[in-house]
A and B are shown apart, each in its own frame.
Chain A
Amino acid sequence: MKRLATKLGFYASVFVLVSPAVLVFLWMISLSFKNELDNTAFPPVFIPNPPTLKNYVDVFAQNNFALYLWNSILVTGGAVLIGLGVGVPAGYGIARGKATKFAILILVARMTPALSYLIPLFLLFQMTGLVGTITALVITHLVITIPIIVWIMIGYFENVPIELEDAARIDGATTWQAFRHVALPLARPGIVVGGILAFIFSWNNFIFSVVLGGKNSRTLPSAVYNSLTFEQISWGPLAAAALLVTLPVLLVTVLAQRQIVAGLSAGGLKDG
Chain B
Amino acid sequence: MTATAFPSATSAAPPQPAPFIHSADFTPRYWLFAAPAVLVVATVIVFPWLFTLYMSGHDWKIGGGPEFVGLQNFAELWRDTRFIESMGHTLYFTILAVVLPILFGTAAALVFHREFPFRGLLRTIFVMPMMATPVAVALVWTMMFHPQLGVLNYLLSLVGIGPQAWVYAPDTVIPTLILVEVWHWTPLVMLIVLGGLAGLPREPYESALIDGANAWHMFRHITLPLVWPFIMVAIVIRTIDALKAFDTIFVITQGGPGTASETLNIFLYLQAFQFYKIGYASAVVVIFFVVIIMLSLLLLYARQKSKWNA
Contacts and interface: CB of A to CB of B under 8 A. Distances in A.
B21 A249 contact: no
Q: Which 7 pairs show the lowest CB-CB distances between chains A and B?
A: A93-B33, A97-B30, A90-B37, A163-B13, A93-B34, A242-B136, A120-B51
B208 interface: no
Nearest to B13: A163
A272 B278 CA distance: 21
Nearest to B182: A20
A243 B108 CA distance: 26
Contacts of B247: 206-207, 221
Contact of A117 (B37, B48, B144, B293): B48
A167 B8 contact: yes
Interface size class of A (residues with CB under 8 A): 35 or more
A66 B187 CA distance: 32
Nearest to B21: A166
Interface of A: 10-11, 13-14, 17-18, 20-22, 24-25, 27-28, 31, 40-44, 82, 85-87, 89-90, 92-94, 96-99, 102, 105-106, 108-109, 111-124, 139-140, 142-143, 146, 150, 161-171, 173, 175-182, 185-186, 200, 203-204, 206-207, 211, 220-222, 224-225, 228, 233, 235, 238-239, 242-243, 245-246, 249-250, 252-254, 257, 260-261, 264-265, 269-272
Given A106-B41, A142-B44, A168-B9, 11 more contacts: A10-B111, A24-B140, A41-B149, A90-B37, A113-B265, A116-B288, A168-B8, A204-B133, A224-B136, A253-B128, A265-B191
Nearest to B123: A257
B140 A242 contact: yes
A44 B146 CA distance: 12
Q: How would you classify the secondary structure of chain A's contact residues: helix, strand, loop or mixed?
A: helix
Contacts of B51: 119-120, 123-124
A119 B282 contact: yes
A264 B45 contact: no
Contact of B41 (A146, A179, A204, A253): A146
A48 B141 CA distance: 19
Contacts of B36: 85-86, 89-90
B21 A162 contact: yes
Interface string B120-150: 1011111111011111110111011000110
Contacts of B202: none
Nearest to A13: B111
A269 B43 CA distance: 22
B40 A86 contact: yes
B114 A10 contact: yes
A34 to B, nearest CB: 12
B216 interface: no
B62 interface: no
Contact of A10 (B22, B46, B116, B272): B116
A63 to B, nearest CB: 14
B309 interface: no
Contacts of A228: 139
Contacts of B3: 181
Interface centre among A89, A97, A106, A228 (most CB of B within 10 A): A97
A108 B18 CA distance: 36
B285 interface: yes
Contacts of B136: 28, 221, 224, 242-243, 245-246
A93 B140 contact: no
Given A89-B34, A224-B136, A146 B40 contact: yes
Contacts of A44: 149, 151, 154
A121 B48 contact: yes
B149 A40 contact: yes
Interface string B194-234: 11000000000000000000000000000000000000000
Contact of B1 (A13, A99, A112, A177): A177
Contacts of B183: 20-21, 24
B64 interface: no
A200 B136 CA distance: 14
Interface stretch (B68-76, B80-88, B235-243): B235-243
Contacts of A98: 24, 27
A17 B27 contact: no
A249 B131 contact: yes
B52 A116 contact: yes
B271 to A, nearest CB: 10
Interface in B1-58: 1, 3, 5-6, 8-11, 13-14, 16-18, 21-22, 24, 27-38, 40-41, 43-49, 51-52, 55
A12 B32 CA distance: 56
A169 B19 CA distance: 12
A132 to B, nearest CB: 14
A115 B151 contact: no
B178 interface: no
B16 to A, nearest CB: 8
B168 interface: no
Contacts of A150: 37
23 contacts: A31-B140, A89-B37, A92-B30, A93-B34, A97-B27, A98-B27, A99-B27, A106-B37, A108-B296, A112-B244, A113-B288, A116-B52, A117-B48, A119-B272, A142-B40, A164-B10, A167-B17, A171-B9, A181-B3, A206-B251, A228-B139, A235-B143, A257-B123
